[in-house]
């Protein structure tokens, strides 16, 4: 609206400027009657042109306003990448191609009532006053995701083992799924962390058991997916540690016997988490001091792909890889975080990620079926849904992590739609 009003103001000023200039020239013309008459006709004609132009502009402006506003106020559209399931069957509906639409039935749970939601992600509890960010639902373009039904999902997961592997973004999604499913559990005490651990970022393993349904939802902290090693012999002084790009994390054997396995990595693949603290790349016994982060990321993904092909029993395990989650920092320093009240109208390039592209390239060449959950594009609009200063440490702004309830719930709805919706996704 501000842009349109400014444009209108500029056009009015331009028109007035032309009239003033025209009138000044007319006053300088000589006094003969013919000249005066022609001048009057000319002035009248130009005045009609100016008035006609202004009327045309106003019609076009208000017509565009009436046409565009409903779309802007109700939906933020993004085209997903098709064929997101590689080396396996694909649905006729691309659930990742769609729009954000307002839905007053959201949110699907109260984080304060869920004992497995970290306080740092419970933005309402931490003082956030606006609630519009909670009301957005993901609507695929050519089909509908079935409404979330906790009882149905609980029944579908009976006797299963669901495992998330990745960084704190994976942990947020893990917490989200637990909180979603707890809305369908009558005896809340029948849901518990298997080692009675508090949900914290330091613990490498967390597992929540739904005893009444005999299944667990687990999280393994593996921020790079590959092993972190000590300093090799004769390494330069700047090398404090390494990433062994050809070796998967040493806890990977614990991921294998699962029914649903969801991977994610990306947020830690930045200089601040690597080179700036003396962490460099290693392949075999060789240091790769000149290797770029994108190249190292791709090498690590190839290692992951080889491990998955050798170790995953696809007759039992459904494998997913969720793509990179865009952040919304106001500048490159990651110190300024402007959380909006509404989603962005433009993604400003955040819908693209070299990490997400690498995941697609690796997955499509694998010999086992892998479903890529391409959430980069859809999440790029959600500048309104970050933690900001509504965390358990408000002195440190956060435009990377997400509030709960929020965007990670939608990632889980999409995950569950791949697992359980089947033909229901095919129909609009």
Quote the pLDDT of residue 35: 43
Domain boundary among 71, 102, 127: 71
Work out the average pLDDT over 193-222.
94
pLDDT, tens digit (0-9, with 9 covering 90-100), for 382-406: 999 999 999 999 999 999 999 999 9
- CA distances 207 to 112, 194, 203, 214, Å, are 20, 6, 11, 13
57 and 147 belong to one structural domain: no
Residues 280 and 411 in one domain: yes
Q: 76 in a domain, yes or no?
A: no
* Same structural domain, 31 and 163: no
| Average pLDDT value for residue range 159-167 | 98
Same domain, yes or no: 229 and 179: yes
| Nearest residue to 174 (alpha-carbon basis) of 322, 66, 55, 59 | 322
Q: What is the CATH number of the domain that holds 375?
A: 3.40.50.1110
Task: Give just the sign of the alpha carbon dihedral 154, 156, 161, 162.
Answer: negative
Same domain, 51 and 166: no
Q: Mean pLDDT, to the nearest integer, of 27-36?
A: 38
Do 92 and 235 fall into the same domain? Answer: yes
Whether residue 394 lies inside any domain: the answer is yes
pTM: 0.80
Residue 213 is given by DSSP the state G
For 22, 39, 58, 362, the CA distances from 47, given in Å and listed in that order, are 10, 12, 17, 65
Asked whether residue 144 is domain-assigned, the answer is yes
pLDDT in tens, 164-185: 999 999 999 999 999 999 999 9
> Same domain for 35 and 121?
no
Both 186 and 299 in one domain: the answer is yes
Mean pLDDT for the chain? 83
> Is pLDDT at 412 greater than 70 in this prediction?
yes
Q: Judge whether 335 lies within some domain.
A: yes
Q: Write the pLDDT tens digit of every residue in 256-310.
A: 999 999 999 999 999 999 999 999 999 999 999 999 999 999 999 999 999 999 9
User: Is pLDDT larger for residue 150 or for residue 90?
Assistant: 150
Upstream peptide bond of 107 is cis (omega within 30 degrees of 0): yes
- Domain containing residue 387: 81-426
Q: What is the pLDDT of residue 149?
A: 95
Domain boundary among 51, 71, 91: 71
Q: Please check whether residue 320 lies inside any domain of the structure.
A: yes
The whole-number average pLDDT for the span 239-248 is: 97
- Per-residue pLDDT band at 5 (split at 50, 70, 90): very low
pLDDT level of residue 65 (50, 70, 90 thresholds) = very low
On the question of pLDDT at 125 being above 90, the answer is: yes
Mean pLDDT value of segment 323-347: 89
* In a shared domain, residues 51 and 98: no
* Banded pLDDT at 64 (limits 50, 70, 90): very low
Q: Is the pLDDT of residue 24 over 70?
A: no
What is the tally of structural domains in the chain? 2
Confidence of residue 347 (pLDDT cuts 50, 70, 90): confident
Arithmetic mean of pLDDT, 98-105: 94
Q: Which of 20, 40, 71 is the last residue of a domain?
A: 71
Residue bearing the bigger pLDDT, 72 or 362: 362
Radius of gyration of the chain (CA): 28
Average pLDDT, integer, range 104-132: 96
Find the mean pLDDT for residues 88-112: 84
β-strand partners of 76: 100
Q: Are residues 38 and 180 in the same domain?
A: no
Average pLDDT over residues 352-362: 96
pLDDT of residue 388: 96
CA distances from 20 to 16, 23, 27, 47, 58 (A): 6, 5, 11, 11, 22
Q: What confidence score (pLDDT) does residue 26 get?
A: 32
CA dihedral 393, 395, 397, 403 (to 10 degrees): 30
Sign of CA dihedral 258, 199, 321, 191: positive
Per-residue pLDDT band for 330 (boundaries 50, 70, 90) equals: confident
233 band by pLDDT with thresholds 50, 70 and 90: confident
Confidence of residue 138 (pLDDT cuts 50, 70, 90): very high
Secondary element (H or E) of residue 310: helix 293-311
């Amino acid at each position: 609206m501000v842009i349109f009003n400014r444009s209108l103001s500029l056009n009015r000023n331009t028109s007035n400027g032309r009239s003033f200039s025209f009138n000044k020239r007319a006053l300088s013309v000589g006094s003969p009657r013919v000249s005066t008459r022609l001048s009057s006709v000319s002035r009248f004609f130009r005045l009609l042109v100016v008035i006609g132009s202004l009327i045309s502009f106003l019609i076009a402006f208000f017509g565009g306003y009436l046409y565009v506003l409903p779309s802007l106020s109700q939906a933020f559209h993004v085209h997903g990448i098709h064929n997101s399931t590689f080396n396996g069957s694909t649905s006729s509906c691309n659930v990742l191609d769609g729009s954000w639409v307002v839905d007053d039935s959201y949110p699907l749970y109260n984080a304060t009532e869920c004992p497995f939601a970290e306080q740092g992600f419970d933005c309402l509890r931490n003082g956030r006053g606006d609630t519009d960010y909670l009301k957005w639902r993901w609507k695929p373009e050519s089909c509908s995701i079935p409404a979330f039904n906790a009882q149905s999902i609980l029944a579908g997961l009976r006797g299963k083992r669901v495992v998330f592997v990745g960084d704190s973004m994976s942990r947020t999604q893990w917490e989200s799924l637990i909180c979603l499913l707890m809305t369908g559990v009558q005896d809340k005490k029948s849901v518990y962390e298997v080692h009675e651990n508090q949900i914290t970022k330091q613990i490498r393993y967390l597992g929540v058991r739904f005893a009444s349904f005999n299944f667990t939802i687990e999280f393994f902290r593996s921020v790079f997916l590959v092993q972190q090693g000590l300093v090799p012999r004769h390494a330069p002084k700047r090398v404090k540690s390494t990433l062994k790009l050809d070796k998967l994390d040493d806890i990977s054997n614990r991921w294998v016997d699962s029914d649903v396995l969801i991977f994610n990595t990306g947020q830690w693949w930045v200089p601040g988490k690597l080179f700036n603290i003396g962490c460099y790349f290693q392949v075999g016994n060789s240091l790769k001091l000149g290797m770029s982060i994108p190249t190292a990321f791709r090498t690590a993904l190839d290692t992951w792909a080889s491990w998955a092909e050798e170790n995953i029993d696809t007759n039992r395990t459904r494998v997913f890889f969720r793509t990179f989650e865009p952040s919304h920092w106001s500048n490159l320093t990651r110190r300024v975080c402007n959380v909006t009240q509404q989603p962005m109208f433009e993604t400003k390039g955040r819908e693209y990620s070299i990490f997400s592209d690498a995941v697609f390239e690796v997955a499509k060449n694998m010999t086992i079926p892998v479903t890529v959950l391409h959430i980069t594009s859809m999440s790029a609009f959600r500048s309104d849904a970050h933690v900001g200063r509504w965390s358990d440490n408000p002195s440190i702004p956060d435009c990377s992590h997400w509030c709960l309830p929020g965007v990670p719930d939608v990632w889980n709805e999409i995950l569950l739609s791949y697992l359980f919706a089947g033909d229901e996704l095919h129909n609009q």
